Structure 1
Amino acid sequence: MGLLKGSDETERVGMQGWRAKGVQRRWLQSYAIVLLIPIIMMTATYWQTRHVINDEIHRANSALLSQLKLEIENYTDYVYRLSEMISLNPKVRSIISNQQNIDAKDRLNMKHAIADFKSYNIANRFVDHFYIYFSAGNFVLTDSSYYEDELYYELNYSQSDLSLTSWRSNLAEEHRGRFMSLGEFSQGARPGIMYAQSLHFPSKGESVGTTLVIELNQSRLMESIRNLQSYNQGSVYILDDEDRLLASSEQASAQERSFQLPESKNDSSGTITEDWDGKPMTLSYIKSETTGWKIIYALPSELYSQKAEYIRNLSVLMLAIAAVLGSILSVWMAKRNYDPLQRLVRNVAARSEIEPSRGSKGTEYDYLEEALDNTLDRYKLMNQTIERQNQALRSSLLARLLKGRIKDGVPIAEVLPDHGLSLRGSGVAVMLFYLEDYSGFFRIDEQDAEKKREFVHLVMTNIVEELAGQEHQGWMTDIDDMLACIVNFNTETSQEAAMAYLKGVAEEAQRFIGSRFRILFTVSISSMRHSAQELPAAYQEALEAMEYRMLQSGQSIIWYEQTTVRELAYVYSIEKEQQLINCVNAGDYVAAKSTLDEIIDCNLEQKNVSADLIRCLLFDMCSTMMKAGIEANLSREELYEENLAAIRELSSGSTVMVMRERMSQFLQRICALAEQRRKKSKYRLYDGVLALIEERYGDNNLGINMIAEQFEVHPSYLSRYFKEQSGETLTEYINKWRIEKSKALLLQDDIYIKDISDRVGFFSISTFIRLFKKYEGITPSAYRDIHNAQD
C-alpha cells in the first residue's frame, strides 16, 4: 500500500507540473495564435487587395493581348507569304508585261492565274479577298474572276465616298508593302485592314503601276477581338507602326482617340492610365516585334476598385465569423482532445520504468517519446541479440553436421526445425567455395582484412542460398576457412537432375558474383547422398575434390566423381633433369622454358593424375633449379630465397598455373645471370644499366629514355642491346625488379599498398596490381595475406 501511495503521489506531482506548461495549455496558445493570424493577414490584405487585383487583371490582359498578338502576327505572316507567291507567279509577271495588249495567250494566263489564286487562299482563314489592279490595262484580276476596273469599282466601292478617279489614283501610286485601314482607304465602304503592294514599279516618265491589294478576314479578326472583350468590359484598338488606327472594337469615336504610349524600344508591353471623356481608363498594351503594331486594351479603372472592395468586405465578414466560432471551438476541443492523452500518460506511467515525475521537465509528449524510445531500444537490442545467437547456433549446427559431430541416435530431421531448417527430401550434396581473390571488390584504402572477409562471406551466403533455393533449398556456413553449402533436394530428384542443378547453381554463382562483385572463387561438388546422416561423407568428398584446385585455373568447378586417382607416379627422368640444368648453364632461357613446359604438360596430360603427385613433381623441379643455380656457380642469395618462397607458396596450395609462371620467372633470372656471368668482362654497359635500375627503381620517370641519356647512347640501341643480353625488354626487367622490391615491403603490414606502389616507382596503384598479378599470379593483398598466414 505504501508503494502504491508513493506511486500515486509521484504521478500527481508530475501531472501538476504538466498543467503549468503542458499540452493543454500549449493547444490553447496555438489556437489563439491561429486565430490571430487571419486578423493580421486581413489587415495587410486590406491595403494590398487593390494592388493584387490590379496586378491579376494586368496579367490576364497581358496574356489575352499576347494571344491576340500571335494571331495577328499569323495574319501578317500569311499576307507576306501570299504577296510573295503572287508576285513571283510567272503568269502574273507575263500579264504585267503585256497588260496594254492582252492577247489570247494572256487571257489563258489569266485563267491559270485565277486557278493559282484559289489554291493560294483555299481556306480563307486569314485573307478574305485580294485582287491585282493593272492600271495600264484598266482591269482587275481577283482570286475568283476578271473585271474591268469600272465594273469592279461599281461592285465594291460605289456605295462609298471614294470616287473612281481617286480609287484609280490611289492604286496607281507606289506602294511598298504596307497595311492600312480599309475604311480609311475606301472612305467608309466597309471596315477592315488591307495590304497594298506594288508589283510593277513604273520607269521614269510613267505614272501608273500594278498594285496587289489583300483584304484581311475582318470577321475572324473581330471574333478574336471579341474573345478578348469577353473577359472584361473594355475596348480593343490595333495601331500600325506609325500609330495609325487599323482596327477597333469601338466603331463610333475610335478615329478620334489619341494614345500616348511610351516610345522606348524596351517597353514592349505595359499598362498606363489616361482620361477619356472625363473617365479614368486603364490601357494595357503590347507591341509586336515583327510588325511594330500595337494592340491596346482599354478598361474603365473603376472595375479594379469594385473587385477589390468586394473581396475586402467579404474577407472582413468571414474573419469575424471565424474568430467567434474559433474561440468557442478552441476551448472545447482543447479539453476534449486532452482527456485521452491524460489517460494514456497515466497508463504508460504505470507500466514504464521512467518515473512520472520526470515528465514535469517537459510536456506529456516528451514523456511518452522518452518512454517509447526506451522500450523500442530494448526491443531492438533484444531482437539483435536473438538474431546473432540464432545465426551462430545455425552455423554451428551445420558445421557439426558436416563434420559428423552429432551424437549417435539423435534424429537430424528433428534437430533442424529448432533452428528454422527442415528437410524437403532425403537427397543431399555439399558444395565447397574457396575464395581465390576479392581485392577488386574493395577500395585500396580498406585495410581491415577480417571485416572484408566477413562481408564477402555475407554476400556469397545470400546469393548462393538464393540460387540454391530456386527449386530446392541450400544452407550456407563457414567451415575451415571456406564456405560450404548443404543442398537438400526435393523428393524424387534423380542423380542426373541433382548434378545438373548443382552445375547450374555453381556456374550462375561464379558468373553473377564474379561480374557484379569481382569475387573469384573455386567450387568443389560432392556426389549426391541419399540421407542427411551421410553429410559428413559428402563433405569429405568435396574436400578431396578441392585438393585438385592446384591443377585448375581460377574460377573452376571441380566434381568429386571426376577426381578418381589411378596414376601412382609422375614422369620426370634424369635425362630431362640434366637437360634442364644444361640449358641453365648455357644461359638459354628459351630452351630451358621449353623443357620446363614439356615436363609439366607431359604429366598434366595423364588421365586422372593425382594432385599430390603433381605437387611432388613441382617440388622436384624446384630442387632441380636450385641444383642448376649451384652448378652455374651463381652466388645471388636472392635467387635461392625466391626459390624457397616458391616452395612455401606451393605448400600453401598454389595452383599449377601460378607455380608454372613463378618457376618460369625464376628460370629466366637464373639463365640471365648465367649469361651475364659469361659476358661480364665484355659488356660493362649491361652491368651499369642493372646497377642504375637497382639504385633508382623508385623513380617513376625511370625508363629507356632516361637510362639512354644517362649512358649517352641512343634509346633504340639500348633497347636492342639489353634484349640481346638479358633476353627480355628493358621495360619488362624494370617492372619485374620493382615487383621484387615490392614483395619485401608487402611483408610489412604497416605500409599501405598504395604507398608501396609509389615507393617502387609505379605511376598508379592499378598498374602495380595488374603487373604484380601478371608476374606473381596473385594480387598484392593476397600475397600479403598468404605470408601473414604463414608467419
Structure 2
Amino acid sequence: MEMFLGFHLSKLKKHWIFPLLAGCMLIFVLLFAVNIRAVNMMEQEKIRETETIIDTARQGIDHYLFTIQSSASELLLNNQNMVLQSAEDISAFSTPEAYRYSELMKNIKIANSMIEDIYLYYPVWDYIVGTEGCYNSRNYFLLNSELSSKGYAEWKSHILESDNINFFFSPLGKNEEKLYFRQQIPASRERDPQSILIIGVNDTEFMRLLDMALPNDDGTSIFVLTEEEQLYLSRMKESAPSNSELQDLLTRNPNESEKVDEDGYVGWEMPSAHHAFYYVVLSNKEVLVAHIKSIQHLLIMGIILCTGIGLAISLFLGLKQHKSIEKTINSLNDKVLWSIKESALGDVLNQRQSDPEALRNLFQTAGILFDYIYYSFILADVSFQRDKHQSKENLQEVGQSLEREYSFVDVVPTLIGDTAVFLLNYESTDSDLLCRIEELIRQQWEKEDIRMRQSEVFMSESQMVSIYEQTLLFFHKELGLPGETIPQEKEEVLIFDRWKKALMLREYAEAKAMVPEVLASYVLSADDAYVRTSRQYAVINTVIQSAQGEDTRYHGNHMPEWMNALKGCDSVKELSACLKEILSEFEDLGSQYTMRQKERLSYKIKKIIEENYNQHFLGLCYISEQVGVSTSYVSKVFKEEYGIGVVEYMNELRIEAAKKLMEKEGITIKEVAEQVGFTSDIHFIRIFKKYENITPGVYKRQNKV
C-alpha cells in the first residue's frame, strides 16, 4: 500500500498537492456560507408559506357559504310562487306544491355538500317544510334525530324561534357549537303567513375544507372560533397549543387580519366575510424548522466528509475506474435485452404474424423462449404520456419489477401507438400476478385512473395475434376510439369460446360460474328457434366431451347418470341447474385424487427434471408426455408438493450448473448456455440476470479461479 501511495504521489508531483488542498478549503468555506444562507431562506419561505394557508381556507369556505346564501335566494324566489305563501289553513302542507317545494330543497342539499339540512318554518302553524317532508316541528325533529325527542325544546328555542339573521352559532351541547343560516321570508300580503328559512351547515364538509388547506407537516394547526371566542372546529397537530394557550395567543380583534408571533408560535388571525366567525392558523416554530435544522447539520457534516473523502478518492480513481465501466456495461446489457424483446413483440403484433414456426424462430432469435403454460395480454392506454421514450423506459421498469417479484413469469413489453402492451407467460393462474402488474403500471406512470384491459388466458403461441386483436377491439370499444366494431354475434361466440376454454383447462369452478351467461348470451339471444336449438346442443355436447374425459381419467362409471340427467332437462332453466351440478361433480372427482398419488407423481416429475435439466428438449410438454397428465396438472401438483414451479426448479438447477462451469478457464458464455440446456445464449443471459441480478459475464469475471 505504501508503494502504491508513493507511486501516485510521484505522479501528482508535490507542487500540485498544496493548490489542491487550498482549493478544497476554499470550496468548503464557500459551500458552508451558501449552506447557512440557504437554510435561512428556507426558514423564511416556510413561514411565508403558512401565511397563505389561512387565506386559502377562508376563500374556499366563504365561497361555499356564499353558495348557501344563493340557495336561500333561490328558495325565496320559488316560495313566492308557491301556494304555501297564501295558505289559509294547515291542509296546504299536504298539497303536491308543498312536496314539490320539499323536493326542491332536497335537490339543493344534494348539490351543495356544505348543506346538512334545509327547512322552512311557519310559526303560525308550528309547521315545517324541509328535505324530510312536511311535518309539524316536533315530528320533523324526531325524523332528524332518530325518533328521539331529547333536545327538541332547545332546538325550537335557539333555532326556530331565534332572532338571529344570516349566519349564527347555536349551542349544540357542552362546549359545542353548530353553524346555521337563518333568513326571514316576509309575506307579500298582510293576510299571508310569515315563514323562516333555516339552513344547517355540514360540519364534516367544513372540516374537509380545513384539511385541504392544511399543509402536510407536523407543526401547523388550524382553528375556527366564534365571535365570542368559542372553539367551533379545529385540525390540531400534537404540537398545537392547548385551549388556554390559544386564548393567550389571540389578539382579540376578529374584524381585521392580525399576525401572531409569540411564545414559540407564529400565525395569523383572519375574519370570515360573514363575520360570524374567524380563522386562526398557528405553526409551532420549533417543529416547523426542526427538519430544516437537521438538513443544515447533515449538509455541514456532508461538506466536511466529502472534502476529506474527495482527496482520498482522487488517489484511487484509476483503481476504481473499471467498476464504473462494468456497471455501465451491465446497465446497457439490460437495456439492449429489453429493447430486443420489445422489438420482437412489436414486429409480431404489427405484422399480425400467426405462423407458429415463424413465431418460434423470431422469438428465439430475440432470446425469448416461452417456458410456461399460460399466456395473457395486459393493455394500458398511455396516450396522456407524450414522451414516447419515457413510456418505453416505464415499460421496461414494469417488466423488470414484475420479474424480480415473481420467479415464475416472463414479461415481454412493447409500445404500439398510444397503447402499452405487456405479454405475460406464467406458470400458475392462482397467483395475484395480473393484479400486481396493474398496480405497477399505475405506480410507474404515476396515474391512478389509467384505463387497462386484460385478455383472456390462452395456452398457445399461435393464438397470440388473434387474442391480441380481440382484446384490442374490446379495449378500443371501451375507450370510445374509432375503429372496427364488434358484431353482436361475434361477442356471443367469444363468450362460448371462453367457456369451452375453461372446460378444456379443467377450470370447472370458472366454467360453472359462466353457465348462466353462456345460456343467456349464446343460446337464448338467438332470434331463430332453430339456431337456439343447435346452440343448446352445442353446449350439451361440449359438456359431454368433458364428462367422457373425466370418466376415463378417474376410471369411474358416471356417464349413464350424467346422460340421463341431461336428457331430463325440459327447459333452459333446468339445463342450467343440471350443468352446474355436473360441473360440481367434475370438481369433486378431481379432489378425490389421494395425496399418495400426488406425492408419487410429483416425485417422478422431480426425477425427470434432475436427470434431464441440461437437455434442450426438457420442458413442460416433455414432462407431461412422460407422466401422462396435462401440463397444467404437472405444474399444479409439483408446486403443491415442493412449493416451487416446474420451470423455476429447472432454471435453478441450470443456473447452479452454469455457475460451476463459469469458474473454469477458457469456456465461453455460449458454450455454458449449451451445456446446461439453454437453446440461446441471449435467453441464458436474461434468465441468469433474473435469478442472480448480474449478467453471466460479470459473474464469470468476479469468480474466476
Output the TM-score relative to the length of structure 1: 0.32
